[in-house]
Structure 1
């Protein structure tokens, strides 16, 4: 079919109909010829199905019983949070007001310390090695 965005050229409906008829005729012709060219595939597939049914009936596999999932551990068993400190008076103090107290144990892994590292130092190069 013609591109629908091009409206400046007139559409020839008769020509489009002839193209469509040619496509339909080719499809019909190919559908008639398919069994002669590729029909052997259907027999091979039917044979494959018969063999697979035989194998399914003869082979039985006894798999060992796998253990089921472990029961979930309640969070209270491994998370211990102390009582909250009093609510701050200002909204600016509200940010991080619980995490700042060590007695609440909210920071399980400690504070993060990122030191300054030098790629050149790690490689053992002089500082003026790269520009």
Structure 2
């Protein structure tokens, strides 16, 4: 329980009274824990019964998924990704800048050049270029 802030300077704050209130809270909590099984224990039993019934139904009704919905085993990344040896590390800090890009196999252009569209949506639709801002 968070410690309450003491009231303003004109009122007194009793730590003893706060401690007594805390003891009463703890006592009530312990008494409630002792009484709970007699008063509300049926909820725990009905929950267990429901769980057992649910497990019996799940075991009785086994659905077989069609082959196209079944999960395939994972493919190893080595099948698709081949990692070659890295070029030697340059001896100077100036050589570190872009040292991977000097090797033809490590350049980003190995996937092809980037091609941007040359068409305009506004031109295709026959709209004025000022139609969109």
TM-score by length of 1: 0.48
TM-score by length of 2: 0.47
Larger radius of gyration: 1
Greater RCO, CA 8 A, separation 6+: 1
